[in-house]
Amino acid sequence: MSSSDVVSTLAELIRINSINPAFADGCPEAEIQRWIYEFFVRHGIAAESIEVLPNRPNVIATLPGRDRSRSLLLEAHVDTAGVENMKCPPFQPDIRDGNMYGRGACDTKGGLAAMMHALLELHQQGIQPPCDVVLAATMDEEYSYLGASHLCESLKASAAIVAEPTDLRMVVASKGCLRWRVTIGGRAAHSSKPHLGVNAISRMARLIVAIEEEDPKLQELRHPLVGGPTLNVGIIQGGAQVNIVPERCHVEIDRRLIPGEELPQVFRDYENLSERLRSRFPDLEITHTPLLEDWPMETPPDSPIVRTAQQVLQRLHLFADPAGVPFGSDASKFARAGIPSIVMGPGSIDQAHTAEEYVSIEQVKKAVTIYKEIALNF
């Protein structure tokens, strides 16, 4: 395959282990970012590698446009989920039934390869787009969004397209995420005399019931594109051994927010809810510790990037109505920084992080055209 073949590029990206370092068998993104940087340099496109953490850079490539005061950001993350339970070889790209298999194939190396080749085609054809087209290959999306957050500190863009797997649908709304740890303290005692202790697990159980009793109120909140908010108590830890009254218990909670909800207010509401337990337990020891905060995103339908993408999709006879998704992405960080953003890429989120992750090769090729046409018309 030629170096300009997007399928070949996708295969090369999959071959490089870029599991986020926070996960088992993970490693810094330096190797894959070096490959991406050299791809652009080899083809005569201006690029730079910007270190965010040691051996963990973002790579930025820029194609100058006619109006240098405006820019369109194309962004995809290079880090992937882990590979512990994969059935197909994670780093040996395999084509079967029109799909490319391998870790990161759809999340988001398929979209990244398409963006790289959209930029390459514009450059090779000598086409100068209306504004600068900036491609950002970012690190650390799978864990704490450090790459996108670092990018927001210096980059000013007129709009952004983020290449998460959406089956090429244009996503203008996504849920936010609040994760936090609740710790309840108790007092240890021998299990033969539990009245001498304070059972932290029992008190936590009452808090969990109180939280779940609030679920009907959540179901009253609805957004036309992303549905309602959700809550999940995903981790519980407590106790030392079965014959000791547990003196401490922790839970970790995941709450998904819909556009219009405010992170600080949602957090305060759960703090206030836990305080109701004090009516029964005046000596309650409880702390709430935030772990992750990601705001919901919603881009207005009359935003130039939405209108341009919609027109391009219509011309290509693809589904053009704005959509919403329940998952988060780097797009919310750009939106919070004042950059109107959409999420659109090849592949299905149902395949992301799975035992046999794959992406449709046809969709990857279509994505090249979509990104290129949006860049030419924005």
The per-residue pLDDT of the chain, averaged, comes to 95
Residue-wise pLDDT tens digits, 336-361: 999 999 999 999 999 999 999 999 99
Model confidence at 277: pLDDT above 90: no
CA distance 247 to 201: 8
Residue-wise pLDDT tens digits, 305-337: 999 999 999 999 999 999 999 999 999 999 999
- Residue 1 pLDDT: 36
What predicted TM-score, i.e. pTM, was given to this entire model? 0.92
CA distance 78 to 294: 19
Residue 58: what are its φ and ψ, rounded to 5°?
Answer: -95, 150
| Residue 346 · residue 92 · CB < 8 Å | no
- Residue 4 pLDDT: 53
DSSP 8-state secondary structure symbol assigned to residue 117: H
- Residue 139 pLDDT: 98
Distance of CA 58 to the CA centre of its chain: 16
For the chain, domains (ranges, CATH) are: 6-174+296-377 (3.40.630.10), 176-294 (3.30.70.360)
Q: What is the mean pLDDT of residues 5-19?
A: 97
Least confident of 20-34, 107-121, 268-282: 268-282
